[in-house]
Structure 1
Amino acid sequence: MADSFIPLTIDEYARQAALTDQRKGKHALSFSMLGAFGETGSLLSEVKKKQRDKASYLGYAEAVSEELGDVLWYLASIARRSGIPLSTIAANALDATRVGNAADDSLTFHAMQPAHIPMTTEPSAQFEHRLLALAGQIGLLVNDYQSGALKGQAKMLACLTLVMRQLIQAANDSGATLEAAAIKNQHKIFDRWPRDRTFPEPFDAPMDTEEQLPRRMTIDVFERSVRKQVYVFQKSSGVFVGDRLTDNALEPDDYRFHDVFHYAHVAVLGWSPVVRALLRLKRKSVPKLDDAEDGARAILIEEGVTSWIFGQAQQLNFFEGVKRGGLPLDMLKHIRQFVTGYESERCPLWLWEDAILQGYAAFRFLQKHRRGRVLIDSPNRRLRIKELPL
């Protein structure tokens, strides 16, 4: 017998959302208000894109649900920082005659909307007007907070109730359910900021060791001049790995050291079609994996992701000083889109961040010292680098 579906309560969602709130300090409340306003703007942007690119914009419904979830997350953050249960706001929004600020622990998202909401694939004029009203209401919230007009919990509750009412109506008009938006939001935020960091099993764990990426490996990386041209060479156990490398660019940018990013993919993600090709570790015993996951197209995907991230990193000082949890969420989501259809799309966003930050720490070391000994430590999901003896 299948397990019965348990509706998500408003306060349970709020508790889960609180676990991923990274902001602290006296400005956290105003940040949450601006976040709610910004996400409402993103909702309006989705409407605009669908109106402009009717046939070619296929992600409209999914994007609306995601943005509704983001607005909800910020609303939960504002409520928590104001000392008001999110269920109180929702209950007051549903019942205009309700008085007081008592929580309603049993109130679910399912109870907030009609049982049957007509599905829509295009934005209606009514939805657009509702979003403008929602944006206006949040704008009033921000303005009143900044002016000091929201002193006192009762005033904050009244204002947040109006925002929630508009949000519920916007969801109705969009054909989306806030329950689905909340659940998707939970998945997204824990994909990025997990409750616990449990490493997934390596993709090639079922394979024979001859077809597994190295669990531990040492690679010496160094520069050498050949006919007045500087190249990067790599050696492991005295054997050269891959070809000698240059930046392949008109302006020098040290991309010649970029294989260290692939080694980070091996160490942290347990994935790298590029390294499989370099070390001749393709999974030939499973033809489908050999062709799809380890073939030329997969190699191009990894090289493309690596090059794209490098372009982002150049603008951010190669991520120097960026701590875990500090990479832009949009950047990580774009990476997930890059690798869609390949096994690495199953890697959580937080693990991608670990791979990127560790890879760029090693890259910055090589930029400074021009040589180094790279150590892949897959069991501990670590990429390390140290000085290479002369």
Structure 2
Amino acid sequence: MTTLEPQSEDEPMDLTSYQELSARTDILTADDPLMPLLGLAGEVGQLIAEYKKRQRDRQGYRAFEDEVSEELGDILWYAAALARHNGLDLGEIARANLAKTHDLFRSGTELPGQDPFDAGLPDGQRFPDQLTVTLVETEETSKHGERLQRVRMYAGDSPVGDPLDDNSEHDDDYRYHDVFHLAHMAVLGWSPVMRRLLDRKRSNQPSVDRIQDGGRAAAIEEGLTAYVFTMADAHSYFANLQHVPPSIIKTCAKMTAHLEVSARSLADWHQAVIAGYDAFRNVVAHRGGTLTADLNRRTLTYDAPPRGSDR
């Protein structure tokens, strides 16, 4: 059996080897998984204390770098112990984390091209390469005599879907939420809701028509749209954020894990949410406007309505 020896100071250390070597100094109770977790929390507290010292004495505290290095080392030790006590490999954890963060925070603003989900089908069952719609807000009277703000969507002179109001006790502009479905279509190449509204369901493929374009898939899209909207309300509709909180993006991916859109990355979902909320803030600010979904460029662009225009 090969004995793992400590590496020299000049030799790079991989995390799996570190975890194995650090086990030799692990005197924590094997049947108490809470101990490494408490140790990890304590070392993070010590690291914070070092930063507090530096804030208090920026010029005079010369031990800062050495102390931070030591605290980070202790944090790594407890992280390795916590992983080991749970049967996990720190090296594998690091690789998975790099893959996740690359997926979420991919550099560059332009998304790479993607294979459409409806390739090879007749035009009437495919999303258009480009779609321009106009959103118009009007005040109308319901059949019960209520005065409501409603939004209608048009492609040219043809209405798309039904007029929408907020369906809420509060005026929160959710009547404009079709912009999010447009963003899903533009960026992800996916939106069961837009397939229904545009009459582009894939009837040549019965199982796809039933599962991917069916009622359940559309309900899931509506559900995740409502969920993100609720979260966005707490963040000023992402007006001041460069990145949407990862938990929101991961929830969208989890909700659609059994659908074809699972082929898209977390970065794709992130861009779809950003594009949708950029459009939402614009249509709300101008009480309507024109949106162009470009599925080749994977963009959703906005043009304000001309002054004095009803359309």
TM-score under structure 2 length normalisation: 0.83
* SS at 1:327 equivalent: coil
Confirm whether residue 222 of structure 1 aligns to residue 222 of structure 2.
no
Structure-1 separation of matches of 2:289 and 2:18: 59
The verdict on how the C-alpha distance between 1:382 and 1:103 changes in structure 2, with shifts beyond 3 A counting, is farther
Instruction: Let me know the Cα RMSD of the aligned residues.
Output: 2.5
Deviation at 1:166, TM superposition (A): 2.2
Deviation at 1:154, TM superposition (A): 4.4
Q: Aligned runs of 1:50-61 on 2, under 5 Å? A: none
Structure-1 separation of matches of 2:34 and 2:157: 65
| Partner residue, 1:349 | 266
Structure-2 separation of matches of 1:208 and 1:236: 20
Equivalent residue in structure 2 for 1:382, among 295, 299, 305: 299
Confirm whether residue 104 of structure 1 aligns to residue 16 of structure 2.
no
The verdict on how the C-alpha distance between 1:212 and 1:147 changes in structure 2, with shifts beyond 3 A counting, is same
TM-score under structure 1 length normalisation: 0.67
Q: Percent identity?
A: 31
Confirm whether residue 316 of structure 1 aligns to residue 230 of structure 2.
no
| Rg (Cα) greater in structure | 2
Deviations 1:118-151 (A, max 9, x none): xxxxxx7422112112222232233234325771
Deviations 1:194-222 (A, max 9, x none): 15642432222343332211210111110
* SS at 1:388 equivalent: coil
Deviation at 1:259, TM superposition (A): 0.6
Greater share of helix: 1
5+ unaligned residues in a row in structure 2: which ranges? 24-29, 55-60, 142-146
The verdict on how the C-alpha distance between 1:204 and 1:103 changes in structure 2, with shifts beyond 3 A counting, is farther
| Partner residue, 1:135 | 41
| Partner residue, 2:86 | 174
Deviation at 1:240, TM superposition (A): 0.9
Structure-1 separation of matches of 2:118 and 2:62: 57
| Partner residue, 1:373 | 290
Structure-1 separation of matches of 2:261 and 2:247: 17
Q: Is contact 1:150-1:156 (8 Å) kept?
A: no
Structure-1 separation of matches of 2:290 and 2:264: 27
Confirm whether residue 274 of structure 1 aligns to residue 193 of structure 2.
yes
Structure-2 separation of matches of 1:225 and 1:331: 33
| Partner residue, 1:186 | 98
Deviation at 1:360, TM superposition (A): 1.5
Structure-2 separation of matches of 1:108 and 1:278: 53
- Equivalent residue letter for 1:132: L
5+ unaligned residues in a row in structure 1: which ranges? 1-90, 118-123
Equivalent residue in structure 2 for 1:239, among 143, 155, 158: 158
Q: Count the aligned residue pairs.
A: 284
Structure-2 separation of matches of 1:223 and 1:134: 55
* SS at 2:296 equivalent: helix
Deviation at 1:173, TM superposition (A): 0.9
Confirm whether residue 160 of structure 1 aligns to residue 72 of structure 2.
yes
Considering Cα pairs closer than 8 Å and 6+ residues apart, tell me whether 1 or 2 has the greater RCO.
2
Structure-2 separation of matches of 1:319 and 1:195: 19
- Equivalent residue letter for 1:275: M
Q: Is contact 1:144-1:150 (8 Å) kept?
A: no
| Partner residue, 2:223 | 304
Structure-1 separation of matches of 2:231 and 2:65: 43
- Equivalent residue letter for 1:187: A
- Equivalent residue letter for 1:185: N
